[in-house]
Amino acid sequence: MKLIIASNNAHKVSEIKAILGCFYDEILSLREAGIDMDVVEDADTFEGNALKKAREVFSVADADAVLSDDSGLMVDALGGAPGVYSARYAGEGHDDAANNAKLLDALKDVPGEKRTARFRTSVALIRRGMPAVTADGSVEGVILHSPQGENGFGYDPLFYYEPLKKSFAQLTPEEKNSVSHRRRALESLCDKLRAEK
């Protein structure tokens, strides 16, 4: 059984391989599968984007299944924004620093106790001859007033995780993987796959 992960992010691919390895004999990134495509993520939910990407890759893939995910940051004081626009919050072509600066500006008058937020991931698995399976995962935190830490990417320097008393950018990769929203979504997906057997 061959699974293609609709990503070339090496860190993401290795995490998925570790979690789903018991279900598939071969797990490949897009690059490893020889697929070069860029899916426009224009759905209004994480699940919608994950399903769209998985379906489009599956349509050209020589595989039994394709797994995709979409993730983002949801800030309560901003009505759930940036949400599905997390990667392009400061506009197309902007980087993590610009996105973080815009988020801090949007929250400049919001006190600490109202800066609650969560990282959310939806994963979608498209399979040959079987129904699609989706699963979600999230992790709760608080948005800091300034960046802390050098690890991670995206909004990690601003996302404070209370149980470990650190920002996500202060966590080691192992610490982050153990509590991440993607891991929780993948573990939920595994539970659904096991329940099918």
Q: Which residues are catalytic?
A: 70
Q: What is the 3-state secondary structure (H, E, C) of 8-19?
A: CCHHHHHHHHHH
The rounded distance, in Å, linking the Cα atoms of 165 and 167 is: 7
Task: Give one word for 154, left, alpha or beta, with left for phi > 0 and alpha for psi -120 to 50.
Answer: left
3-state DSSP call for residue 69?
strand
What length does the chain have? 197
The rounded distance, in Å, linking the Cα atoms of 95 and 16 is: 25
Inter-CA distances, 25 with 1, 59, 115, 170, Å: 5, 21, 43, 35
Report H helices in the chain.
10-20, 46-58, 96-106, 173-179, 181-196
H or E stretch at 72: strand 65-75
